[in-house]
């Protein structure tokens, strides 16, 4: 099968997960803390139910495929095709009632993300990409996604979910980039990368990401003409310290500061 053949199935996964999540949104749902440290890492019944639905669909249709998920661990992760699932990226926004969250669905072939989707069912938006192109579907219709040109870091708008999620050393390094941009904003989670792909943001800098936090977003950003790497300039699908840029010139400037 090709990526095109999988795209309809990925749409089914998005629809099923969205239908599972929405009844929980903006309700009095129970919240558990997965963190073993002082950092609050919430998970809800909606997270678990949505991932369970997606896993059942994948196993029923592609039993030979692997699955990597935030809530229920890894299965057959050495398979040629592996699905990487984050049922609710942005759970802290979700439990606060803000719609800045989304379901992330990635398909990896031999370790490389070949298709990704971010689905926001409350707003009704889907951002998808296959590294060669990226697309939007939502209330305003359908269109191709394209990053915007940005000649220098001094003209850039950057996002990070929160500097408080970074360790003290990385926070100081990020501060160098923050001082060099025109505008720095916090929040967004997966939406920051999608807004970068849509041409509204120039740079996203994060740390401590897991594979399921970033794998689906890589084909979207690269498909729109952007670049996603680690802070060391390496492939980003394994997570860690991540930088995404719409313009390669901004990416290079920011990398120099992150590694200076």
For 72, the token pair is 């229920």
Residue 130 bridge partners (DSSP): none
H or E, element range at 17 = helix 3-21
Q: What pLDDT score does 71 carry?
A: 86
Residue pair 224/145 in contact (Cβ under 8 Å)? The answer is yes
89 marked as part of a ligand binding site: yes
For 113, the token pair is 């993300």
Q: Give me the domains of the chain, ranges plus CATH numbers.
A: 6-144 (3.30.540.10), 153-259 (3.40.190.80)
41 marked as part of a ligand binding site: no
Q: What pLDDT score does 190 carry?
A: 97
Per-residue pLDDT of the chain (260 residues; tens, 9 = 90+): 555 578 889 999 999 999 999 999 998 776 665 555 556 555 678 889 999 999 999 999 999 999 999 889 899 999 999 999 999 999 889 989 999 999 999 999 999 999 999 999 999 999 999 999 999 999 999 999 999 999 999 999 999 999 999 999 999 999 999 999 999 999 999 999 999 999 999 999 999 999 999 999 999 999 999 999 999 999 999 999 999 999 999 999 999 999 98
Per-residue pLDDT tens over the stretch 59-97: 999 999 999 998 898 999 999 999 999 999 998 899 899
Q: What is the CA angle 129-66-245, rounded to 5?
A: 30
pTM above 0.85, yes or no: yes
Q: What pLDDT score does 30 carry?
A: 67
Bridge-based pairing of strands 66-69 and 81-89 is: parallel
Whose CA is closest to 116, among 211, 230, 187, 246? Answer: 211
Per-residue pLDDT tens over the stretch 5-15: 788 899 999 99
Q: What pLDDT score does 36 carry?
A: 57
Helix (H, G, I), strand (E, B) or coil at 232: coil
Q: What are phi and psi of 252, to 5 degrees?
A: -65, -40
């Amino acid at each position: 099968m090709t990526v095109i053949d999988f795209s309809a199935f990925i749409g089914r996964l998005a629809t099923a997960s969205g239908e599972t999540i929405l009844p929980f949104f903006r309700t009095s749902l129970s919240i558990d803390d997965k963190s073993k440290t002082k950092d609050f890492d919430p998970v809800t019944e909606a997270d678990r139910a949505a991932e369970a639905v997606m896993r059942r669909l994948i196993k029923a249709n592609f039993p030979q495929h692997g699955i990597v998920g935030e809530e229920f661990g890894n299965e057959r992760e050495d398979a040629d095709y592996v699905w990487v699932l984050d049922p609710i990226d942005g759970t802290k926004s979700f439990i606060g009632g803000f719609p800045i969250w989304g379901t992330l669905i990635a398909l990896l072939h031999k370790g490389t993300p070949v298709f990704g989707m971010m689905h926001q069912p409350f707003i009704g938006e889907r951002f998808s990409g296959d590294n060669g192109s990226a697309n939007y579907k939502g209330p305003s219709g359908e269109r191709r996604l394209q990053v915007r040109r940005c000649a220098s870091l001094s003209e850039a708008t950057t996002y990070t979910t929160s500097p408080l999620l970074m360790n003290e050393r990385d926070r100081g390094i990020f501060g160098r980039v923050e001082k060099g941009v025109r505008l720095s904003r916090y929040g967004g989670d997966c939406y920051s990368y999608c807004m970068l792909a849509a041409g509204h943001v120039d740079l996203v800098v994060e740390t401590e990401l897991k594979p399921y936090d970033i794998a689906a977003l890589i084909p979207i950003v690269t498909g729109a003409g952007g670049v996603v790497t680690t802070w060391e300039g390496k492939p980003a699908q394994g997570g860690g310290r991540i930088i995404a840029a719409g313009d390669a010139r901004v990416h290079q400037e920011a990398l120099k500061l992150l590694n200076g």
